[in-house]
A and B are shown apart, each in its own frame.
Chain A
Amino acid sequence: MTELKSRITAAIAAAEKKPWNAFRLVMGESALRQAEELEKREGPLPLRGIPVAVKDNIAVAGVEMSCGSRLLEGYVPPEDAEVITRLKQAGAVILGKTNLDEFAMGSYGLRSAFGPVRNPLDPLRCAGGSSSGSAAAVAGGIVPMALGSDTGGSVRIPAAWCGVIGFKPSWGAVSRRGLLAHASSLDAVGLLAGSAADCGRFFDAVAGFDPGDATSFDPEPKARGVSGLRIGIWREQLLLADTPAQKAVLEAARLLERAGARVLEISCPAVILAGETYVVLAAQEAVSCLARFDGLRFGRGGEPTPALRTRLMGAEVRGRLCLGSALLSMEELAPLRRGALCRRSEIRQELERAFREADLLLGPTTPGPAPLLERAGDAGEERKADALTVVANLAGLPALAFPLGEAENMPLSVHLMGRRGEDRTVLRAAMALEEGRGAR
């Protein structure tokens, strides 16, 4: 057996044991076939033979996509998502579909209809969500790269808690075609990888304008060098974190400074309202994005819509849809609706000002490490988990979670955010952190 085939065979075997409930479905046969075809393809391919796991809300033609929901169980998409097409072109092998919080709604990784995902570093802790299976598959060493999606932090939170890199590109830098929409104006296809260098290669393979996605564009091809880069430590975000997470941020600042960057302090107070703003906007958008799942067309269906939805949707999804519907239709809630839109533009403006002083904003990804499962019952706490990450979605900016520091024997993570389109500058800074951390 060739090296490539044996590598894929090993990955299939590891995934098929369904460790941590990370995989929903392993595409063993098709992965082997892809490996065989790859051996016939000549020339250098950027991701030749790399097995990639795919969050089960991204379409792979002919492979069931249930999005963590009983409502969509049995739905088979007819076309590959644009990112899947690009990954295959780059020589990657699609290994399987990973588990996620139902309809990508959740921060702990516990809300899949097909069972919770466990943290590979400590099975008594949450993996984080909603790209929980993808993060676990990378953290557990089954794949070096995995696709996720990020509407409010769904790639960066599980990356932070599983100790891997999670990258949410600029809104539009990676085509959303084939990603099941949760809230289109906030959604991004996200990347999870074991190293910053891998994450960079991964991004190069999937990024760029897609004529089938009117919101897509080509991000800046060149990264700014770290030397002379202005890193703004984000004061309000730092204050929202626990002491160990604050320390990790200061450590990251030191590493970047050593690489030639200039560190300064930045204040953006409007972001304190980002969490609430996100809840209002995301719930409304989810109502229309999920409206097509009425039980008539996709999944097994077969009974009148309200009954079917009540029976087959989890409480979190139903709760958000109820909130969103009320927001959309009740005149009494119009101020809330308008307020959220105003705050979104305020946040954008404030960030624009911040990016005149700094090239990157640095803060913690989450206030602390992965919570213990026994303490994960509180939905209110869960919703606060994305307090630090949603701002990147509201403003459409590239943001990356980088594992740095420790607390309670679990990894912590720092958060780098750049200007829209400067995705590669964010990735370059992550590589500098990686080099600095290794040299330490």
Chain B
Amino acid sequence: MTEEIVVGLEIHVELSTRSKLFCGCPARFGERPNALCCPICAGHPGTLPRLNRGALEAGLRLGLAFGGKAAPVLQFDRKNYFYPDLPKGYQITQRRMPVIHGGFLEIGTGEGTRKIHIHEAHIEEDAGKLSHDPARGLSLIDLNRAGVPLLEVVTEPELRSGEEAAAFARKLRDLAVWLGVSRGKMQEGNLRADVNVSLTRDGVPGERTEIKNVASFREIQRAVELESLRQHALYEAGEPVERVTLRYDGDRDRLSIMREKEEESGYRYSPEPDLPPVVLDPDWVEQLRAGLGTLPREREREYLAWGLEREWITVLLADRELSRLLDRTVSLGAGPREAAAWILVDAQAIARARGWKGSLPTPAETFAYLIRRVEEGQFTRAVARKLLEEVFEGEDPEETARRLGLKRIGREEIEAAVETVIREGGKALQDYRAGKEKAFTALMGRAMGILRGQGDPTAVREALRRALEK
């Protein structure tokens, strides 16, 4: 018996536009409930949707970035269903003609990278949020999220494990963040997935189930793992797998059945007459494509060629600011590996120690300066590191170095220091002269002490050897 897990994802990416999809309300997170709604997103009778071009642009950019094709015509449909958090009694979505067709993302698997194809992606509005207050016996509706634009990305069922599903979701999140079209904050629900799972046994495809509204990468992985085990157990027991909708409870790491036997016509679709079809100007789409800049997969190739560590590349591709900072530092003449180490290890450590939030405040020029000085042998790495702590928030490194006396240590100063060590003599010198090589370290330490640790160790070592051989 061969058994294969088959997973397809429907991922809702919240697009980070200034306003909602069909009204002027700000699309923000964390406001007082119902502070961000108006007659349109509250569904008052007589109100009409007005398409936000920024949201369309954001959705298109993400779709084009994963290699999808833009539809020739933009048109919308209504998905009709009753739910208290859905103000109009229908959700405006795209059923007949999704704005994006096709595309793919590459994920790393045990056997190298694999292309996961995307079936389509469509723009739709989010619903509000329902919460329950059992103490007061109330259900409360918050419409701040109602009407926030989403791009729903639907993959082909080409994922083979929970790990792969999570990897795909992460890839998509990173791309959206890279492009600046989504904040990609999982804890704010910026990315939510419906996970479809089935088992193919001896080449025979089985019934598919859906786990709704999974909100983190880990949960996506666990949901697939648990559901494939559940289905496996059913097959082994000779019971049928029914087409059900499930929910994953992250706290208890458990699946529960939400709805039995879902039928497609449970959702009734109809065209949206309030938004007439609009021809998408191919020139405009081309402009958007051209404006995408370097994409993560191209960047990844370059970073590998630069010899960067795998973990570094993962971090860089998830954070376009960092990646830009690195590129700029390299373009100022720094070696890529040195630059990456300074930015991703040293600067990040300082940021962590200080509890710094947001992007690094240090400009590329500072990193380039530090690397140059170390390479020229003017600073030790330790000194440069000390200097970075002082100029982390963007201060002028040259001036700060001068102020702190971290000045250039020249050949004369090194030779003077070496001369002093030899003149002072002492036991270490005697030991060395007596052939004890180990004593060299002590002499070296003394010279570095005189130079207050700022001399280039290589230069000091060479100067000391020369002086001792005389």
A interface vs B, CB < 8 Å?
A: 58-59, 65, 67, 72, 75, 77-79, 81, 176-181, 184-185, 211-215, 284-285, 287-288, 290-294, 296-298, 305, 325, 328-331
Contact = CB atoms under 8 A, between A and B. Distances in A.
Nearest to A216: B48
B203 interface: no
A287 B82 CA distance: 11
Given A288-B78, A288-B80, A296-B84, A215 B46 contact: no
B33 interface: no
Contact of A331 (B43, B78, B265, B274): B265
B89 A288 contact: yes
A74 B335 CA distance: 72
Given A78-B39, A288-B78, A328-B80, A177 B47 contact: yes
Contacts of A180: 45-46
B49 interface: yes
Nearest to A215: B276
A63 to B, nearest CB: 13
B51 interface: yes
Interface of B: 39, 42-51, 78, 80, 82, 84, 87-90, 265, 268-271, 273-276
A181 B50 CA distance: 16
A177 B87 contact: no
B44 A78 contact: yes
Contacts of B265: 329-331
A81 B78 CA distance: 23
Q: In the A-B complex, list the 7 residue pairs whose CB atoms are closest, starting with the nearest.
A: A291-B89, A185-B273, A184-B273, A328-B268, A180-B45, A178-B46, A292-B89
Max chain A C-beta neighbours (<10 A), residue from B46, B80, B84: B46
Nearest to A171: B273
Chief secondary structure at chain B's binding surface:
loop
Contact of A214 (B51, B89, B268, B271): B51
B87 A292 contact: yes
Contacts, number: 91
Contacts of A81: 46
A162 to B, nearest CB: 26
B273 A298 contact: no
Contact of A284 (B45, B84, B270, B275): B270
Given A184-B273, A292-B89, A331-B265, A177 B48 contact: yes
Contacts of A58: 46
Contacts of B271: 185
Contacts of A213: 48, 274
Contacts of B44: 77-79, 298
Nearest to B139: A296
B82 A214 contact: no
B270 A285 contact: yes
Given A291-B88, A297-B87, A77 B270 contact: no
Contacts of B45: 59, 65, 67, 72, 75, 77, 180-181, 292-293, 298
A399 to B, nearest CB: 19
B47 to A, nearest CB: 7
B274 A214 contact: yes
Contacts of B89: 288, 290-294
16 contacts: A59-B46, A75-B45, A77-B39, A176-B48, A179-B46, A211-B50, A285-B270, A291-B90, A292-B87, A294-B89, A297-B43, A297-B87, A298-B44, A325-B268, A328-B268, A329-B268
